Structure 1
């Protein structure tokens, strides 16, 4: 039995090598379809996992009036511009509410080499389970803790000064007179913290007040500064399930505030993404079907051309079952080779796409992450190969020696 299989595999490989152009075309079609499916599956899963992880434990985001989705993207995922600022008094308003368990303030507006500087509290780092790799957490204004991705891509070291730039992307005016001292570097955690520079809220106020030429030592100016201080957003955790009903309505009734629910907005975002993903998935399925049809035609035509060869094999002692297996093996080898090539191309594409996003949006995607679901793609490809080869294999099984050789 084993020798029969070895001979069948050898014959199948020789047959595929006999028509290199047809074999390459069928492999390419299969590879393109599997590559697209691998890319879609990997990217959509990684983005969904990242979005779920970053929003976990945050029940409500409070910010300025505008787009709720924009508020979520800018405050939780740090990938959009904020809707505006809100009064500092908003934080006290929420902290005094019995429905609220915890409030994390955010003050945005500056960046460092494209990475956002986030003014917040230590509770923000604790919420994302940030763990110090070097140094310590900040203890006073103008100290900063940086994420692992920031440290890796900028090369900044513990104890060095960094100067923020105005705006949330690189290229803004540098606040060169007000440095932040790097007192801590976080371990990679797979959350939004990896790509942030985190500092106390007071640091962000101090930078902008000094940049605007305000003097905190002047009592009048100090009082004016304290009255005009603002936050960008507040991340809220509920103390009671009842808050999910009452808090958004209460916040939206305030003239300057807006409430956005991460779960609701994330669902909208995934629906928008889902349309594009479904289109790409549909194209990939069409390509796979085209590969199956092309493979079937190639194997069927090859069978017609090799009828005499198959009849001679029968005369030499090959059983109908062996010819049947031979054609099935050809289909499986062709499909498997194309699938493995496509799987590799798909992961390379994810890695390239991840580098593009990292440079533009600071979003992490890795082509090195292999999902369990991807193994189903290999089985799908083998199934396509088997189905495409089935009819030619049946015809080979039914080969009439006398009739074939007489022609």
Structure 2
């Protein structure tokens, strides 16, 4: 009989003990898998959504809140800024492109964004069906929005006041879907786009009687000199603030990283406990099977074969736990993603990462580490003494 078959039968001679060890390894591996997938996806989303945006200008307040509301659409804006002052900044020699944003409404929790053609250029948007908005109350919807809300070109819908909830619906005007965007793999998949005038008119029929406002401006610099000059100019000479997506995204990820690091250490601790548990299981099993192993030696089994049998037991336990843990980690993250309230930061478990291969190597290492001492003991066992005692 091969060492693998012997190891397999030996493990399942005590199914409860084997199942406990596999469960410990699976639990630790599952947590690491969730953290690995979530960290990668969040990092990619932060990078992709802010890819070509150098600065965000908005109302005074929290810079991080301004970034979250204007780039990731997962927070409330810090306020509004006067249209006249915003357009003066847009014409600055430091600015290559300025993208105006007007927020304030939603459709079933999906944000309606008033903007212009600069937004299309910034994100390199293309339509899959229909065309981009042109007239007031025309809307182009992201691919995920069209799928989730079952919207198609020609459909109409009514927005609601506020960025969440549908209690205050604007019944005086409705939007008409003129186009559906190609899937972009960024935040635009989950937005409804229209012109700024539509957002203004939706809130006030007498738009010419009050000063017009924007929520924020997305800025692209014209030259490297703009990096040093423009943010300081905005913060010191206007009632607006300038926030750097790169700096605030790094800050956000560092805040998230504190929790991630804590969970990683917790998972590592579980893996360490599982290694100790596998070691104890193999050590006690070896003591009980000394006589059986001695008989195998008398029947021709070599020391190396006994060594490999014990090593194989440890590797089988940890690899089984690793595979189960990775599978459960993917399924758990998919469940979490499906039940997220925010569609902008939605996660999925149905992705595979190259880094997951390291989890398999970790499982192998734990199995070998836990089994090495019992395997050496089996290799050095004295046949005559064992048989004499029995």
Q: CA deviation at 1:91?
A: 2.9
8 A contact 1:86–1:230 mirrored in 2: yes
Asked if 1:122 is matched to 2:117, the reply is yes
SS state at 1:145 partner: strand
Decide which of 366, 375, 380 is 1:393's aligned counterpart.
Answer: 375
SS state at 1:18 partner: coil
Other-structure match for 1:264: 247
Q: Comparing 71-80 with 200-209, which one deviates more in the overlay?
A: 200-209
SS state at 1:76 partner: helix
Q: CA deviation at 1:125?
A: 2.4
For the residues of structure 2 that align with 1:244 and 1:188, how far apart are their CA atoms?
32
SS state at 1:185 partner: strand
Asked if 1:295 is matched to 2:243, the reply is no
Q: CA deviation at 1:255?
A: 4.1
Q: Comparing 275-284 with 171-180, which one deviates more in the overlay?
A: 171-180
Q: 1:59 to 1:185 in 2, by over 3 A?
A: same
Q: CA deviation at 1:361?
A: 4.9
Q: Equivalent residues in 2 for 1:81-120 (5 A)?
A: 81-120=76-115
Other-structure match for 1:54: 49
8 A contact 1:115–1:362 mirrored in 2: no
8 A contact 1:144–1:197 mirrored in 2: yes
Other-structure match for 2:359: 377
Decide which of 224, 233, 252 is 1:250's aligned counterpart.
Answer: 233
Asked if 1:317 is matched to 2:312, the reply is no
SS state at 1:253 partner: helix
8 A contact 1:143–1:183 mirrored in 2: yes
Q: How many residues align?
A: 389
Q: List per-residue Cα deviations over 1:20-69 (Å, max 9, x = no partner).
A: 01000000000011001100010011001001110111111000000000
Other-structure match for 2:2: 7
SS state at 2:291 partner: helix
8 A contact 2:154–2:178 mirrored in 1: yes
Q: Equivalent residues in 2 for 1:72-83 (5 A)?
A: 72-83=67-78
SS state at 1:373 partner: helix
Q: CA deviation at 1:405?
A: 0.9
Decide which of 147, 161, 185 is 1:166's aligned counterpart.
Answer: 161
Q: TM-score, normalised by structure 2?
A: 0.98
Q: Comparing 309-318 with 251-260, which one deviates more in the overlay?
A: 251-260
CA-atom RMSD, angstroms?
Answer: 1.1
For the residues of structure 2 that align with 1:113 and 1:266, how far apart are their CA atoms?
27
Q: Equivalent residues in 2 for 1:209-248 (5 A)?
A: 209-210=204-205, 214=206, 222=208, 224-225=209-210, 228-248=211-231
For the residues of structure 1 that align with 2:258 and 2:142, how far apart are their CA atoms?
33
Q: Which structure 2 residue ranges, 5 or more long, are not aligned?
A: none
Other-structure match for 1:219: none
8 A contact 1:125–1:193 mirrored in 2: no
8 A contact 2:107–2:166 mirrored in 1: no
Q: CA deviation at 1:90?
A: 2.5
Asked if 1:336 is matched to 2:331, the reply is no
Q: List per-residue Cα deviations over 1:207-256 (Å, max 9, x = no partner).
A: 1113xxx3x6xxxxx3x24xx11000000000011111111111112442
Other-structure match for 1:146: 141
SS state at 1:366 partner: coil
8 A contact 1:91–1:103 mirrored in 2: no
For the residues of structure 1 that align with 2:368 and 2:115, how far apart are their CA atoms?
58
